[in-house]
Amino acid sequence: MGNEKGTGRSVRDTGRRLCAILVLVVAIAVLFTPVTLVAFATQGDFRVHMGIAWTWRETGHLTWPHFLYHLLTILLSYLMPGGSLNIAGFTISMLAYVALGMVIYDAVCGAVASRRGKCVSVLSLIITLSLMLVSPVNLFTLPIRNLYLGYISPTVYHNPTLILLKPVALLLFFSGLRVFDNS
């Protein structure tokens, strides 16, 4: 197979990458849907943020300083049958997980390609999903049974604004790295 015009990437490689991205999206849905549904069902941050979005949509009064999650939820709710904020909020959270996966996958493919000559899709998928699930191990607070509030907080699954922040923060981090790249 020849190369696509101007990219140096073969059609076969592009097909493999698209297939890997599809597998990644399905894996993210399988892994993070139950977690997000449980977070929605429990008394926690999702309910608080859904209440904030509902108040903003119904009254027009914004009472929260960081409002991107609420704005996206409201906008998506207008596009959904029945205007459900809960379904819209869940969808925004899942899209944020997919965006995070795409950002990580792109970075991992770049790292693997620079060492191997081409992106190894399966390895990149495994590394991406691992990085999305990894949490710090709080060994220093193990003797006092302080497993949650150690030196570094664990991966956040319960807060929709932090879930939305992850892909944006990672993109900004990678953009910042480019500033210091000498190549």
d(CA 151, CA 45): 22
Tell which residue, 16, 10, 3, has the closest CA to residue 123.
Answer: 16
> In the chain, what are the helix, strand and coil shares in percent, each to the nearest 5?
70, 0, 25
Max CA separation in the chain (angstroms): 61
Chain centroid to Cα 89, Å, comes to 14
- Average pLDDT by consecutive 10-residue portion of the chain (183 residues)? 51 81 96 94 90 96 92 96 94 98 93 72 90 78 64 76 95 91 72
Q: Note whether 64 and 52 are within 8 A (CB).
A: yes
User: What is the 3 state secondary structure string of 43-70?
Assistant: CCHHHHHHHHHHHHHHHCCCCCCCCHHH
The pLDDT of residue 25 is: 97
Tell which residue, 141, 165, 143, 144, has the closest CA to residue 153.
Answer: 141
d(CA 93, CA 140): 32
d(CA 122, CA 84): 37
